[in-house]
Amino acid sequence: MIQNSRWRTSLIGLLCVISLWGPSIILPVQAATDSRATHVLNRLSLGPSPGDLKHVQSIGVEAYIKEQLSPQSLKQPPALKQRLQRLNSLKLTPAALIQRYQPRPNQRQRPANQEAQQRKARIPLKQAEQARLMQAVASPRQLEEVMVNFWFNHFNVSIQKGRVRFWVGDYEQKAIRPYVLGSFRDLLGATAKHPAMLFYLDNWRNTAPNSPGARAQFKGLNENYARELLELHTLGVDGGYTQADVIATAELFTGWGIPNPRQLAQHPSGFYFDAKRHDNRPKSLLGQEISGQGMAAGEKVLDVLASHPATAKHISYKLAQYFVADQPPPALVKRLTQRYLKTDGDIRAVLETLFESPEFWDQKYVGRKFKTPYEYVLSTVRAQGGGLNFKTQQILGMLSQLGMPLYRCRTPDGYAMTQSEWLNPEAVTRRVSLATSLARGRQPQKNAANVDKLLETLGDQFSAETQSVVDASPQHLRTALLLGSPDRMYR
């Protein structure tokens, strides 16, 4: 109790400063001569881990960016590969996941058997969470991890909705991760066909009202997926579409669904096109006639949307907002849009243009992006090193406490990535408390070494004010003060 009291007392001065923060706060930025390597690590990774800064300084910033844009050139640590290999549910198809883990209702089951089924049913989600966090913390392919988080949020699904909890790991591993630096059209198609998205946005029920398959739960048109596809996934809210376009899109996707239990063996991917529920009439979408029938009609919709200038602008804006500033420079968004259209939506090419842009390196944007809870917690874990020696439940608990529980954003627009959503005194105080908790787990007899190692890992990120508070504090509190400092809340 005495130690905890002293800990809180030593932090109170810093907490008072933090509690007065407002959205317009401007933190001191490290000297330009030291900032490039630190800046690129803060933006292209989930925060530097021990050795990362020296690596970037040794090979150069440009080489590091090229390295991260080609993640397959970076070997995964053997320990990470071994740990991932043990997550058996991630090796199963969506059909097999349902067959193996979904509880079977049985009124005659004993309570113990029901509890056992419920424990078993939690395995796919538990292993999906482990896989995400292990790769986020320990993978050298850090830009890939950043983009997995970015695109999962863009194409959000939530385990709060029924069967999605069985499929979320497969959705991330099969529909998101392989495409994060590839073709946007491929990414769009993979998410559209995955049962997690089909179920989450109800497209699996979408049925032509007068079709032979219109019965029971397949009673008619469902616009949920069509609306979010246009508003969130592609064109954007100001993308120029109308309600008529939403209806036409929904009609073109009729029949895209999930196999019933008897069909699972024939459709292991979890996707099934039911021609009996499809509307074969020609449609007009965004002024363009689409006369194809069957699955081809939906594929044509994805082609039209992925190549549309509004989509190029919407995706470019979101990337610039994530990597540069909450209000991204219009000139940068315009150049990224042009690059997107010129390369048919090549995500890697768009990022190359972004990372080469003067705006990305402009000092007025360096260190000004407020970290989301996910970014703050993961950057804190990575900064302390330790590789895979972290407690998954501890990290998940922290994310929940900070209002960003993994895979649990209920709304299809995903979590906000801007400062206005996350910067408030209560939230920042919680961050400091969690940083204190993480630092407390370090070996006390090695506090001086821990602080030195942390400073070496993070580089010259700290303001004179923070350094003054840390220098005046007892040695055993300095790690917590550094991890919970105002400077560490930004990237």
For residues 101 and 105, what is the distance between their CA atoms, to the nearest angstrom?
Answer: 12
- Average of per-residue pLDDT values in the chain: 91
pLDDT band at 251 (very low <50, low <70, confident <90, very high): very high
Residue 56 in any domain: the answer is no
288: three-class secondary structure by DSSP: strand
In a shared domain, residues 396 and 470 = yes
In a shared domain, residues 302 and 331 = no
Angle at 82 between CA 79 and CA 87, to 5 degrees: 130
pLDDT band at 443 (very low <50, low <70, confident <90, very high): low
pLDDT band at 445 (very low <50, low <70, confident <90, very high): low
DSSP structural state of residue 490: B
Q: Say yes or no to pLDDT of 31 above 50.
A: no
Q: What pLDDT is stored for residue 18 in this prediction? A: 43
pLDDT band at 440 (very low <50, low <70, confident <90, very high): confident
The tally of CA atoms less than 13 A away on the side-chain side of residue 245 is 18
Q: Say yes or no to pLDDT of 5 above 70.
A: no
In a shared domain, residues 375 and 301 = no
256 DSSP β-pair partners? 273
Q: pLDDT (tens digit, 9 = 90+) per residue, 202-250?
A: 999 999 999 999 999 998 999 999 999 999 999 999 999 999 999 999 9
In a shared domain, residues 396 and 421 = yes
The tally of CA atoms less than 13 A away on the side-chain side of residue 123 is 19
pLDDT band at 438 (very low <50, low <70, confident <90, very high): confident
Q: Say yes or no to pLDDT of 26 above 70.
A: no
In a shared domain, residues 219 and 283 = yes
In a shared domain, residues 206 and 258 = yes
In a shared domain, residues 292 and 156 = yes
In a shared domain, residues 162 and 283 = yes
Q: What pLDDT is stored for residue 20 in this prediction? A: 39
pLDDT band at 305 (very low <50, low <70, confident <90, very high): very high
In a shared domain, residues 243 and 271 = yes
pLDDT band at 437 (very low <50, low <70, confident <90, very high): confident
In a shared domain, residues 38 and 182 = no
The structural domain count of the chain equals: 3
Residue 407 in any domain: the answer is yes
Residue 60 in any domain: the answer is no
Q: Confirm if 195 and 270 have CB atoms less than 8 A apart.
A: yes
For residues 29 and 363, what is the distance between their CA atoms, to the nearest angstrom?
Answer: 8
What crossing angle do the helices spanning 61-69 and 52-59 adopt, rounded to 10°? 110
Residue 16 in any domain: the answer is yes
Q: pLDDT (tens digit, 9 = 90+) per residue, 329-354?
A: 999 999 999 999 999 999 999 999 99
273 DSSP β-pair partners? 256
Query: For residue 73, what are the contacts with CB-CB under 8 A and spacing of at least 6?
Result: 67
Q: Looking up tokens 């979010």, which residue turns up?
A: 228
Residue 400 in any domain: the answer is yes
Q: Say yes or no to pLDDT of 294 above 50.
A: yes
- The token duo for 67 is 């390295």
Q: What pLDDT is stored for residue 8 in this prediction? A: 45
Q: What pLDDT is stored for residue 292 in this prediction? A: 76
Q: What pLDDT is stored for residue 439 in this prediction? A: 84
pTM over 0.75: yes
Q: Which has the minimum average pLDDT: 39-43, 171-175, 446-450?
A: 446-450
Residue 201 in any domain: the answer is yes
Q: Looking up tokens 């560490």, which residue turns up?
A: 488
CA distances from 471 to 286, 380, 441, 448 (A): 62, 20, 21, 12
- The token duo for 430 is 């919680």
Higher-pLDDT residue of 242 and 476 is: 242
Residue 57 in any domain: the answer is no
- Residues of the domain holding 333: 309-350
Percentage of the chain modeled with pLDDT above 70: 91
For residues 117 and 103, what is the distance between their CA atoms, to the nearest angstrom?
Answer: 6
Residue 138 in any domain: the answer is no
pLDDT band at 449 (very low <50, low <70, confident <90, very high): confident
Q: pLDDT (tens digit, 9 = 90+) per residue, 142-201?
A: 999 999 999 999 999 999 999 999 999 999 999 999 999 999 999 999 999 999 999 999
Q: What pLDDT is stored for residue 460 in this prediction? A: 78
The residue type found at 21 is: W
For residues 391 and 471, what is the distance between their CA atoms, to the nearest angstrom?
Answer: 30
CA distances from 416 to 166, 404, 412, 422, 424 (A): 25, 10, 11, 8, 14
Q: Say yes or no to pLDDT of 112 above 90.
A: no
Maximum pairwise Cα distance, the chain: 77
In a shared domain, residues 468 and 389 = yes
Q: Confirm if 351 and 470 have CB atoms less than 8 A apart.
A: no
Q: Looking up tokens 């219109």, which residue turns up?
A: 214
In a shared domain, residues 148 and 159 = yes
Which of 320, 350, 380 is where one domain is finished? 350
